[in-house]
Amino acid sequence: MRRFDMAMARFKAGLLIGTALLVVGVFGAGSSAAQSLSCAKPASAVDRTLCASADLRIAAEDVAAALRDTLANTPLAERDPVTRGQQAFLAERDRLCADRSGLAACRQSYEKRVADLQAQNSAAQKKLAAVAAGIPRDPKAAAAALQRYDGAAAKAWQVYLLQSGLLQSGQTQAADREATVRALVASVIDKDLPPDPELKEEMRNLGDVATAPLGTALLFLRHVLSTTEMEAPCFLFTRHGQPAFEAFGPFWGNSRDASPALCEPPSSLYDLPEWQRIEARLAPAVDPALEERGSIREGYERQFAVDNLQASLVPGTLLESPHSPEARKAAEQRKATVTAFRSWSDFAVWPEADYKAVVAALPAAQAATARIYREKFGLNQQTADQAARAAADRFIAARLGLLMPDD
């Protein structure tokens, strides 16, 4: 059997085994504890206690969600500590929550269980993130490690591996790859994601990830990682450039844009003193404008972070053409904002003294940027100057856009 066929067989077997372990391994075969709490007809004294308290009903949901996430981010063969911990909790829960006189102790047991699961989940996600971080070094080893999991994040990374071409070989048929990608995508959306209808709808709207450009797989990965504590690693951006920055840029235009976190570049371009002087002249007008946006500010701040990462990590990509229609529209808006900046006259919104100070400071900031691009990134003089101007346009347009009238 070919290696790819073996991998697909392992994936299908793992999908079935993981589902069985989630129900049987944690709760025991046939146990009523595997069922969701039903308060229409509480089946036991414990259920009656939980159903009588809104706080405890929420606590029960929190434990169920934390358990689901912890198992999803733990390899199938390493779930015993989680399942044993859950069984111990259920036994203690049944003892403490059978009588309403023990509500305080019952509530404390739930709080402790949630905290324990969250700590286990955080540790598990760090291990999973380390597996993903090893993809550039050894894609095949990373793929083998990811197949030990049965959760959304591991499956999304498998989709990325297949769509990026890192696992393809001369023996791999496109139909095999596409079938595997479709199976992974369907499993993530239909089975593995948290109950978030809006997120699932957006992911279904991506269409057939298996035949779409790589940017679609990156956006699929971004959506899944946004449900975890894991960040987008830097190799996605150094390897894929503009499509990765588009996929991990502002998408929702609200607080959802805060996740997943972006990797930290070794050094931040906009932390240079030349840029900090410009920031100081923009902040008095920009900061209040951000506050007025409410949750929409997260989208603007996401763009700030993406621009900083792009200008600091792979500046040559600042000169790449946008790929998606949304990115092309954003580029046109950025161009219009930079044009408005060059002839700015709305000094009621942004005082003239601050505007003139920024205009005067920009040449020094661009010169410092171009020097870094030559010395650190090896860009030739012309390309370094062009990338420095593009970095300046990003910095100014992202912030000045907050001060301009909405279209």
Query: How high is the mean pLDDT of the chain?
Result: 88
Output the pLDDT for position 173: 61
Report residue 168's pLDDT band, with 50, 70 and 90 as the boundaries: low
Nearest to 404 by CA among 297, 319, 286, 295: 286
Tokens representing 247?
A: 């996929």
Question: Any idea which residue has 């007809």 for tokens?
Answer: 41
Question: Any idea which residue has 């998606």 for tokens?
Answer: 324
Which DSSP symbol is given to 232? B
Task: Using a cut of 0.85, tell me whether the model's pTM lies above it.
Answer: yes
CA torsion sign for 76, 80, 81, 83 is: positive
Output the pLDDT for position 102: 81
Output the pLDDT for position 101: 81
State phi, psi for 232 to the nearest 5 degrees.
Answer: -80, 115
- What does the DSSP assignment read for 191-203? IIS-S-HHHHHHH
Output the pLDDT for position 43: 79
Per-residue pLDDT tens over the stretch 273-326: 999 999 999 999 999 999 998 888 999 999 999 999 999 999 999 999 999 999
Give mean pLDDT, residues 125-131: 98
* Residue 30 region by backbone torsions, left for phi larger than 0, else alpha for psi between -120 and 50, else beta: left
Per-residue pLDDT tens over the stretch 354-375: 999 999 999 999 999 999 999 9
Tokens representing 127?
A: 């291990």
Would the pLDDT of 18 be above 60?
A: no
Whether residue 260 has a cis bond before it, omega within 30° of 0: yes
CA distance 116 to 65: 13
Residues 6+ apart with CB under 8 A from 94: 46
Q: Please name the amino acid found at residue 200.
A: K
Q: What percent of the chain has pLDDT over 90?
A: 78
Output the pLDDT for position 17: 35
Would the pLDDT of 15 be above 60?
A: no
Output the pLDDT for position 295: 83
What are the percentages of helix, strand and coil residues in the chain, rounded to 5? 75, 0, 25
Tokens representing 229?
A: 């504590």
Output the pLDDT for position 275: 98
Q: Please name the amino acid found at residue 159.
A: V
